[in-house]
């Protein structure tokens, strides 16, 4: 009975966030199809405002998968991007992407979406300042040496693939071309393949916590009886909960909903969502990519940045009176109903089916098998060659 209750809670959350997930990934795929990684990689060689702004935009236009973001950041670093720009890309890729904002909007409300985007920008500014004050050339040099060894993490092949349309011509002509349709379908399916385990794990953990852990425990754990202490504790505790949860990318949003329902402070919740880049599996990838010293440095600086951003967001939203007082989460308490969510889910599933069919008809399964391979295991340009050959057959 307890297991059934937990699974039902997880399913209700999935049903609530299904359409923003699908539409968000579709929009993200469209952006990725029209933005060239190779072009932007050449522009991230410094640490000035222009370079970091480009790194931020590049991150927004990338996949929201934390593992893919980490792998691509290492790739950019090896190709000449500054270490600061690479890390800014990581933060933007996992905190400023379209699908994350949509899920927060639907599951928790617009103040959380606004806090996520504002806090993400604050984190980028804070991290750039901390790096400027504390990051040494010697540490970067050791990280560069380790990065050049090419040790693999997750999503290496996914990070190496670039199917963006680089040819000149009117934007709308490129957007409605057959090649764009194919590229969008490939990015859509591969991004889903990259995050589905995190989404599923996040839903199962959230469902279990919502069903099995009483609200009284959360109120004591988050010091809900003392709002002042709760506001102090929240941004410090949120990232620590995220680190041990193992859930990253958009998969931690359902768990965030449970924590908010349980009584975590507004700033603590924001810090928790930010902390998907310091979960234990990703910390191990940092160790492989950059060595123990840089992994420890990233853990410390990211944690400080995430906590500070949580405090600043809570302070600002408190001054503006924007912190929600209602802690009821519809996905936890209401179940299924025939409403706009159901209609949007059906439309989103139809869109997903169209994109998946295009993916399968244009050699997608072969590319999917390459996602977890390291770039060295891939033959030169298989994604681009296969993508173009299939599209030529379609349009000839």
Confidence band for 387, pLDDT divided at 50, 70 and 90? very low
Rounded Cα gap, residues 231 and 234, in angstroms: 5
Contacts with 342 (C-beta within 8 Å, 6 or more apart), sequence order: 336
Contacts with 387 (C-beta within 8 Å, 6 or more apart), sequence order: 163, 179, 182, 183, 186, 362, 363
Percent share of the chain, pLDDT over 70:
81
Rounded Cα gap, residues 187 and 280, in angstroms: 27
pLDDT at 207: 84
- Reading the block at residue 15, the tokens are 């049903």
| Domain enclosing residue 72, as ranges | 2-380
- Reading the block at residue 86, the tokens are 């690479």
Most confident of 170-174, 212-216, 229-233: 229-233
- Does the pLDDT of residue 326 top 70, yes or no? yes
pLDDT at 86: 92
pLDDT at 351: 95
Residue 385 lies in a domain: no
More confident residue, 138 or 23: 138
- Looking at every residue in the chain, the average pLDDT score rounds to 82
Say if residues 168 and 36 touch (Cβ distance below 8 Å): no
- Reading the block at residue 2, the tokens are 């307890």
Contacts with 76 (C-beta within 8 Å, 6 or more apart), sequence order: 41, 44, 85, 86, 89
Question: pLDDT by residue (tens digit) across 80-92?
Answer: 889 999 999 999 9
Residue 259 lies in a domain: yes
Rounded Cα gap, residues 118 and 112, in angstroms: 10
Confidence band for 157, pLDDT divided at 50, 70 and 90? low
pLDDT at 357: 95
Say if residues 235 and 274 touch (Cβ distance below 8 Å): no
pLDDT at 52: 93
pLDDT at 388: 43
- Reading the block at residue 91, the tokens are 């933060």
pLDDT at 383: 43
- Reading the block at residue 321, the tokens are 């009176």
Nearest Cα neighbor of 279 from 301, 310, 252, 260 is: 252
pLDDT at 348: 92
Residue 390 lies in a domain: no
Task: Output DSSP code: residue 62.
Answer: S
Percent share of the chain, pLDDT over 90:
32
Rounded Cα gap, residues 17 and 26, in angstroms: 14
Rounded Cα gap, residues 320 and 297, in angstroms: 34
Task: Output DSSP code: residue 176.
Answer: T
pLDDT at 268: 94
More confident residue, 288 or 391: 288
Question: pLDDT by residue (tens digit) across 233-252?
Answer: 999 999 998 888 767 777 78
End-to-end CA distance of the chain: 58
Question: pLDDT by residue (tens digit) across 2-17?
Answer: 788 888 888 888 888 8
Confidence band for 78, pLDDT divided at 50, 70 and 90? confident
pTM, two decimal places: 0.76
Mean pLDDT of 339-361: 91
Residue 392 lies in a domain: no
More confident residue, 317 or 40: 317
- Does the pLDDT of residue 395 top 60, yes or no? no
Residue 42 lies in a domain: yes
Residue 75 lies in a domain: yes
More confident residue, 293 or 78: 293
Residue 295 lies in a domain: yes
Confidence band for 386, pLDDT divided at 50, 70 and 90? very low
Residue 391 lies in a domain: no
Contacts with 260 (C-beta within 8 Å, 6 or more apart), sequence order: 108, 269, 327, 329
Domain count, the chain: 1
């Amino acid at each position: 009975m307890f297991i059934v209750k937990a699974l039902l809670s997880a399913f209700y959350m999935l049903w609530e966030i299904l359409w923003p997930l699908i539409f968000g990934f579709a929009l993200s795929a469209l952006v990725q199809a029209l933005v060239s990684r190779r072009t932007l990689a050449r522009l991230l060689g410094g640490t000035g405002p222009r370079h970091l702004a480009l790194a931020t935009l590049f991150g927004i236009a990338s996949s929201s998968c934390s593992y893919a973001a980490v792998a691509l950041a290492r790739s950019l670093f090896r190709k000449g991007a500054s270490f600061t720009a690479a890390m800014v890309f990581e933060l933007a890729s996992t905190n400023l992407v379209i699908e994350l904002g949509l899920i927060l909007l639907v599951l928790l409300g617009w103040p959380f979406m606004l806090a996520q985007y504002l806090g993400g920008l604050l984190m980028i500014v804070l991290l750039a300042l901390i790096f400027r004050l504390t990051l040494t050339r010697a540490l970067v040099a050791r990280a560069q040496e380790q990065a050049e060894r090419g040790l693999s993490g997750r999503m290496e092949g996914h990070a190496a693939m670039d199917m963006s349309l680089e040819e000149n011509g009117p934007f709308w002509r490129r957007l409605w071309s057959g090649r764009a349709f194919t590229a969008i379908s490939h990015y859509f399916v591969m991004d889903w393949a990259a995050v589905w385990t995190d989404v599923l794990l996040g839903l199962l953990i959230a469902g279990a916590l919502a069903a099995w852990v009483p609200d009284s425990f959360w109120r004591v754990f988050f010091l809900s009886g003392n709002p002042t202490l709760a506001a102090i504790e929240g941004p410090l505790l949120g990232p620590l909960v995220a680190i041990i949860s193992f859930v990253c990318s958009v998969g931690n949003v359902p768990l965030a909903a449970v924590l908010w329902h349980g009584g975590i402070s507004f700033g603590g919740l924001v810090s928790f969502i930010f902390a998907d880049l310091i979960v234990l599996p990703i910390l191990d990838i940092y160790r492989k990519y950059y060595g123990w010293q840089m992994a420890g440095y990233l853990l410390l600086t990211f944690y400080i940045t995430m906590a500070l951003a949580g405090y600043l967001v809570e302070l600002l939203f408190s001054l503006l009176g924007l912190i929600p007082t209602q802690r009821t989460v519809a996905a936890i308490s209401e179940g299924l109903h025939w409403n706009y969510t159901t209609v949007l889910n059906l439309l989103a599933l139809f869109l997903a089916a169209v994109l998946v069919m295009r993916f399968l008809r244009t050699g997608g399964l072969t590319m999917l098998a390459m996602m977890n391979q390291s770039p060295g295991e891939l033959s030169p340009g298989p994604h681009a060659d296969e993508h173009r050959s299939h599209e030529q057959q379609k349009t000839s």
